[in-house]
Chain A
Amino acid sequence: MRNTQYIWLGISVMCGIIWVFLGQSWLFLNIFPGLLVGPGLNLEEYLQTGSSPSFTILWFSCLVALFIWLYVTTTSRPRNGDEVRQMQPRWWFAATLLVVLGWLYQLLFSVFIWQVRGQSPTNVSGMNYFPIPPAGWLLLMVFVIFDVILLFWLPTLLASPKTFRLVVPGAVRLMGGR
């Protein structure tokens, strides 16, 4: 990897951390509370026990996927452009998997865990899940996609090494014409 790629990788990872652990929660609390709060849901409690863990695991998954991507692209020795381009579907697979996992993590921490434990995360008895309204679910799904873009697409775009530099979707348009 070039020195500038290391720098961009560091910057994008730092941005990801700031976004996931600070920026995102701030937005949920201050901009989108109306979309997330359902009947009997304490937003701060939801952010602590539901949203935060699920986005933290998504962040960790993206980080793992990012390092796997960087390891594979750094160590492989493609002989031609076709072999480089073969990584494109793999990138799409990883990105799609991360989005689906991100959605599952939301379900897991908002619904499944409470169902399995038989506990209610709210003050309403018998409601073994966080009662997030449909618009809130939609918002969370969009945030998951945005997180994957920020935590996986951006660093792979900026730091894919060697001949894989332009294989990430959008890289040719954004970085190939210089």
Chain B
Amino acid sequence: MQLFAIGVGGSGAKCLEALTHLHACGLLTDTNGNPVRLGTFLVEPDQESTLLTRAETAIERYSKMHASLNKKTTTFARGELRHYGTWSPLSSSSGAIRLDQIFSRPVLRTQAAGLASLFDCLFPPEEQSADLVVGFRGRPPIGAAVMSRVSLASEAQTGQWQQLLGDVKAATGGGETTIIHLFGSVFGGTGAAGVPTLGQMLKNWLRDEKLLSVRVNASLLLPYFDFEGQGEEDTGVHAEARNFQLNTDAALQHLCARGQSCFDHVYLIGSDIKARYGFSIGGRSQENAAHLVELLAALGARHGLQPAAETGYAYVISRAMQNQITWNDIPDNEVVGVGLARGARFAVAWLNNFSLELDRAQAMPMPKFLSGAPWSRQFFQPNGQDNEFQGGRPSIRNVDELNLKATIDSYSETLLQWFYQLSANTGSGFSQEIFSPDLLRRNSSHENDLAMVVRGSARPTRDSDSDTVEYIKVRIDDMPKEQLTSRGVAGLADTLWDQAY
């Protein structure tokens, strides 16, 4: 099964970040439990966007780790991921970065004077001259105007779209179940303009290519955050929280009228209790922390993988308690809870303990290290000779192994940061009973206690005294050889992933 995920705008990028982490946690699977092949694609005019960079970082780090593991694991990071890159709708505008450059007024006036007047009527001068390099500035009409000029048929001939659509074609032609899932907010600029437009374009392209079995779904984010403060007079056109509801109403009306022609299923997710982010027009200053709503949006894509999703068109979700979210509010929480809990516990145990142990091993002879870390003999050769393989166990100082460790460190750090933000960024007067944010920080204290990392029903049922990294080490040390899938850092990560929950 192949899932092609397209994140449109900043919120769309954040959803793709969440989806990448779900994939890493083994939660994107087909009906047989095999991980789907995930393709990711970002649509964002704001190439400097921090949110875009964050999503790209998560995707890149996961991809690099997956490639470095080289299929040596059986449970850890098994899902394939291909990133098709980031595409800007402005890239097809021959260098134009303002609306009055994209729709050249002199040309409009000479060729269609009526259109020029309509253009002036629809877009006030400040919107026409706004620099769109930082995005569509929370104005869906600007985004819709730019996006409507895009021709998917011509984009499909070159670059990233060609690769993406080529793979959609190949997967469908090969008989694989193929799903395209779009993510974006409907209350901002880029997402609100881009998601429905791209959905319709993709639907049309699929129809033209006779790829009618491909489903096009979307997770549409309704308002879930506010800005602290607002733009200055010289900020120019910018997103304003007071317009969010208006934009949402317009987007939902459009969806009501024409939604079926854009998407097979939509997932509508928002929050009445808003997270507060610092004001930003976009670019590097936009540092919105990850939010539970983005996780729920990504879980929409997971729901879309199930055959049961065939029924119904629009899906919504609600929580049981006004001021709190618990695992019971998460769809399919019995499976999702275990997957996310495993991911969080793995990241804590790996970064705050095992990785530090491997670092420490570099500073002493292997036999000395082994005397305090018996578990390490399962994966690394006990005599510690460098650059030699013995019984399938590499040296703990092997350069390839250390490089692999570095890629796992990088991705785990990203994953842990995401879990932290997810659990800490709830908005005022609202709490979560899912994770303990304080325990989801990278530190060098050799964290041992895992019992409180996950809260609520997804917390493992084992006795909290034995829910420690030390017990995992003991269990690993006790494992018979045959139970270990591979050796070296890959084997250690795979075994830890297995034992982390």
Contacts and interface: CB of A to CB of B under 8 A. Distances in A.
A80 B468 contact: no
Contacts, number: 73
A79 B375 CA distance: 13
A126 interface: no
Interface in B454-482: 468-470, 473-474, 477-478
B468 A167 contact: no
B370 A79 contact: no
Interface string B406-428: 00000000000000000000000
Interface residues of B, number: 28
A90 interface: no
B448 interface: yes
A172 B370 contact: yes
B356 A80 contact: yes
Interface in A1-37: 2
Given A163-B477, A177-B377, A80 B353 contact: yes
A81 B373 contact: yes
A80 B371 contact: no
Query: Would you call the interface of chain B mostly helix, strand, loop, or mixed?
Result: helix
A167 B121 CA distance: 81
A133 to B, nearest CB: 41
Contacts of A163: 372-375, 470, 473-474, 477
B445 A79 contact: yes
A82 B360 contact: yes
Given A79-B446, A80-B356, A85 B468 contact: no
A81 B360 contact: yes
B368 interface: yes
B372 A84 contact: yes
B353 A79 contact: yes
Contacts of A171: 371
B346 interface: no
A173 B384 CA distance: 12
Contact of B447 (A78, A79, A88, A172): A79
Interface in B339-394: 353, 356-357, 360-361, 367-375, 377, 382-383
Size category of the A interface is 20 to 34
Nearest to A81: B372
Interface string B480-495: 0000000000000000
A178 B479 CA distance: 12
Given A77-B448, A163-B375, A172 B382 contact: yes
Contacts of B446: 79-80, 83
A80 B375 CA distance: 11
Contacts of A167: 371-372
A78 B383 CA distance: 24
Contacts of B474: 162-163
A176 B380 CA distance: 11
A177 B382 contact: yes
Given A80-B357, A172-B382, A165 B470 contact: no
Contact of B371 (A83, A162, A166): A166
Contact of B383 (A85, A88, A177): A177
A85 B371 contact: yes
A88 to B, nearest CB: 7
B470 A81 contact: no
Contact of A77 (B353, B375, B470, B477): B470
Contacts of A79: 353, 445-448, 469-470
Contact of A172 (B367, B448, B470, B478): B367
A78 B472 CA distance: 12
A171 B368 CA distance: 11
B360 A80 contact: yes
B208 to A, nearest CB: 60
Contacts of B356: 80
Contacts of A80: 353, 356-357, 360, 372, 446
B22 to A, nearest CB: 30
Contacts of A88: 371
A112 to B, nearest CB: 39
A81 B368 CA distance: 10
Question: Sorted from nearest, which 9 A-B pairs have the closest CB atoms?
Answer: A81-B372, A84-B372, A79-B446, A85-B372, A81-B373, A80-B446, A79-B448, A177-B382, A166-B374
Interface of B: 353, 356-357, 360-361, 367-375, 377, 382-383, 445-448, 468-470, 473-474, 477-478
Given A163-B372, A177-B382, 7 more contacts: A81-B373, A82-B360, A163-B373, A172-B370, A176-B377, A176-B382, A177-B377
Interface of A: 2, 77-85, 88, 162-163, 165-167, 171-173, 176-178
24 contacts: A2-B478, A78-B372, A78-B470, A79-B445, A80-B360, A81-B360, A81-B361, A81-B372, A83-B372, A84-B371, A84-B372, A85-B368, A88-B371, A162-B473, A163-B477, A165-B477, A166-B370, A166-B371, A176-B370, A176-B374, A176-B377, A177-B382, A177-B383, A178-B377
